Amino acid sequence: MTQEIRLRFAPSPTGYFHVGGARTALYNWLVCKRLGGTFILRIDDTDEQRNRSEWTRGIIDALSWLEIDFDEGPYFQSQHKDRYLEVANELYEKGLAYYCSCTREEIDERARLRGGVPGYDGFCRHRGLASEAGYALRFMVPPGETLVNDVVRGAVAFDNSTIEDFILLKGNGTALYVLANFVDDVDLRISHVIRAEEHLPTTPKAVLLYEALKIQTPVFAHLPVLVNEKRVKLSKRRDRVAVEDFRDQGFLPEAMVNYLALLGWSPGDDLEFLDRQKMVELFDLSKVSKSPAFFDVVKMKHFNKHYIAAMDSDEFIKRCLPFLERNSWWQGSELQQASFRTIAPYVKERVALLTEVVEMVDFLFLDPSQLDVERYTLSDADVDMLLKFLSKVESIENFTRDTLEESFRSLGEEIGVALRKLQAPIRLSLTGRKIGPPLFVAMEVLGKERSLERIRDAIATRH
């Protein structure tokens, strides 16, 4: 019988969804698609104190935005409590687990007396305690060695004497993570467990459970953690790495997915830009890197810029709308949309983030008085040039980018000034900014009347 391929992404909703989780989800998804398996979302919400439903919502939204779709779920661990109890009881009945009455304080105190080595000492192992309120159920770790076969790290051996008799059931009768995870992975027939490296130390505990109940272990793979600039594991509290924030900043999901795929994995052949299909085709868990990777927003921005520039204009316009709509000056009228449509192709290749679009086009929609004019003083020469430009352009019937450029070039020749020098004061008068889309396109979209008026205003109000 061939083994069914079933993978799960099992986040715990204890905070906003961050890029590390997204990377783990993506790798699971890629392996799953590559192997033609079933992808499952499971919400590991056994810790009721710290879980909040809005976090679950956030995880699902972010996954959907990244187009990491699942075939089954979401399942919730909080709904499987009975099963955990059932398995815990089975372990107890078989003599593989025992009840323990020790408090944290007692354990620490004994550890201190022993010489400071922390951890549980097996105090209740042979006391034959029965189930009672407040008593925890502990797994009786057998002597020997436990091997974790990890696809990215190879065989990792743990001496069982270094694994304490871990808790299965808390004193309040609910399951702890190791048990809950094990039971669900078995019940959901999970074939591959792919998660971050921080889970590696608890994996032998899971393996012990599989062995105790004589169940075939899944394939394990532990991904290197994502770190910040200090090379410390990304933290929800310290680091601003919420997937949602990146979306709000104008990152494209395809750029983010592409970047994330390459954080810890390389397809070789100097390949960098990969679409989904290519990723699925080339992804190979055994080629995943073993060392921590720095999450570099600067590089992700580069990917984003590439994807924005490569998009066709209609798609670009569509994706910009939510960002334009954040501004009070955007009403989405026919005229506004037409203006934006004309300038969009030029904006598209100039921004790294969708949020940057706003400052590139706002001059088209803002009243001149609202333009946030950057500090710049027009010199006498500037004014002189502006006047000459005005007189040249006033007579233009056909006010287009081509005729404007022609006038501009001939003016440059006449007064012997480089075009780069000439454009600066004009741009500033029209847009209030020193940089922006090509000047003549901007003027064409702005129209003759508004363009000339803004230049005249600039001259009149110079200081």
Q: Which of residues 254-273 bind RNA (CB under 7 A)?
A: 262-264, 266, 268, 270, 272
From candidates 34, 81, 110, 170, binder to RNA by CB under 7 A: 170
Cis omega (within 30 of 0) for bond into 267: no
The interface with RNA within residues 29-58 (CB under 7 A) comprises: 44, 46-47, 50
* Look-up of token digits 């921590």: 292
Q: Identify which range of 31-39, 102-110, 241-249, 319-327 contacts RNA by CB under 7 A.
A: 102-110
Which position among 81, 170, 233, 236 bears the catalytic label?
236
Q: Which of 97, 136, 193, 378 binds RNA (CB under 7 A)?
A: 136
Interface of this chain with RNA, residues 63 to 82, rule: CB under 7 A: 77
Which 225-244 residues touch RNA, going by CB under 7 A? 225, 227, 230-233
What is the smallest separation between the CB atom of 196 and RNA, expressed in angstroms? Answer: 8
CB of 198 to RNA, least distance (A): 4
Active site residue 301: no
Contact 363, 442 (CB under 8 A): yes
297: which 2 tokens? Answer: 């927003």
Q: Rounded to whole angstroms, how far apart are CA atoms 27 and 280? A: 10
Distance, CA of 263 to CA of 217 (rounded, Å): 28
Q: Give the nearest distance from C-beta 322 to RNA in angstroms.
A: 22
| 109 part of the interface to RNA, by CB under 7 A | no
Shortest Cβ 407–RNA spacing (Å) = 12
Question: Residues 425-444 vs RNA: string with x where CB under 7 A?
Answer: --x------xxxxxxxx---
CA 43 to CA 75: how far, in whole Å?
6
Burial class of residue 433 in the structure, from the number of CB atoms within 10 Å of its CB (0-12 exposed, 13-18 middle, 19+ buried): middle
Q: Which residues of 184-223 are buried (b: 16+ CB within 10 A; e: fewer)?
A: bbbebebbbbbbbbebbeebbbbbbbeebeeeebbbbbbb
Q: Which two tokens stand for residue 24?
A: 């783990």
Binds RNA by CB under 7 A, chosen from 202, 249, 400, 407? 202
Does 368 help bind RNA (rule: CB under 7 A)? no
Question: Nearest-CA neighbor of 405 among 350, 433, 444, 458?
Answer: 444
Hey, which residues between 273 and 332 contact RNA (CB under 7 A)? 287, 289-294, 296, 298-299, 302, 305, 309
* Catalytic residue list: 236
